[in-house]
Amino acid sequence: MRVGVLTGGGDCPGLNAVIRAVVRKGIEVHGWDFVGFRNGWNGPLTGDSRPLGLNDVEDILTRGGTILRSSRTNPYKVDGGVDKIKQVLADQGVDALIAIGGEDTLGVAKRLTDDGVGVVGVPKTIDNDLGATDYTFGFDTAVSIATEAIDRLHTTAESHHRALVVEVMGRHAGWIALHSGLAGGASVILVPERHFNVDQVVSWVERRFEKEFAPIIVVAEGALPEGGEEKLLTGEKDAFGHVRLGGIGTWLADEIAHRTGKESRAVVLGHVQRGGTPTAYDRVLATRFGLNAVDAVADGDFGVMVALKGTDIVRVKLSEATAELKTVPAERYQEAEVFFG
């Protein structure tokens, strides 16, 4: 059997760990051949590929990013895209695909399965917003990076007695903001799932100043003030219809400064949350996902995604995994509010 592997969407710590696990088990246990498609779905669209052997994955466990590179290519936005993929797979003798990605990449995987291509999905996103899995790899690393940044910002905020607004990633789901804010001892946490009242935020900030501490406000990039609109870096949409968000941190810092008379600054962590070596947790989770994805291919169980349920790795239908985003429930956010201000 010859198996193709690709990584799509935004890069994420742990992608290489999945590739390593897939290739090692596939070769050493089953004797399969592997081909890596470059740049997400653009690889099987254009035939851009490379062989993957044991030597190619020997030292990639700790490396961030992906040796296969990535893109946000959507083959269903390309004329004849599905037929091109089928032809490339036939020409290269590929019997099955393992697609590693988030909602967009796996959404394509689901549609390709419906169109007769054998695909197994592996959930990847730092946002932890994929349904049907308790956690995605990359999330723990992103939270750890954001938490370390918040820890460092506490000291400079206290030194200057200023408010610092930390903008983290999270378009529709506030998991990074919630977890890093709690772990970093933030004074306020703002998530996309709950529109915030600026007056209330200012009240929490002032309460913190009254205690003679400097407030740290963690805000997800997709968080919205009541009656407000998303802050966009650009109105241009990608192949999956997403615009680039950004700017809520700067806007909120300006509002806080204006309303309190206190110095306020914004810090946008941006892509640093995606970069660098994965945490031990993400390396292990990514490895387990890769090993179990190989089992699914060996069983001919296509149209599924491997998922974490409790401590077990299970298989769920791609249709279930991509049906809806996993967002922060109200009760989880309410638990955190006791620490605000």
Q: 3-class DSSP state for residue 230?
A: coil
Q: Give the separation between CA 248 and CA 269, rounded to whole angstroms.
A: 12
Q: Give the separation between CA 199 and CA 93, rounded to whole angstroms.
A: 61
Q: Which residue has the tokens 């400079």?
A: 156
* 87 known ligand binder: no
* 221 known ligand binder: yes
Q: How far is CA 170 from the centre of its chain?
A: 9
* 273 known ligand binder: yes
* 9 known ligand binder: no
* 125 known ligand binder: yes
Angle at the Cα of 65 from the Cα atoms of 7 and 83, rounded to 5 degrees: 20
As beta bridge partners, residue 119 has 97
Query: Quick one: DSSP state of residue 134?
Result: S
* 63 known ligand binder: no
Q: 3-class DSSP state for residue 339?
A: coil
* 103 known ligand binder: yes
Residue of 127, 129, 140, 282 marked catalytic: 127
* 36 known ligand binder: no
* 10 known ligand binder: yes
Query: DSSP assignment of 2-36, as one string?
Result: EEEEEE-SS--TTHHHHHHHHHHHHHHHH--EEEE
127 is catalytic: yes
* 283 known ligand binder: no
Write out the catalytic residue numbers: 127
Residue positions in the annotated binding site for diphosphate? 10
The annotation places the binding site for Mg(2+) at 103
Q: What residues are designated binding site for substrate?
A: 125-127, 162, 169-171, 221, 265, 271-274
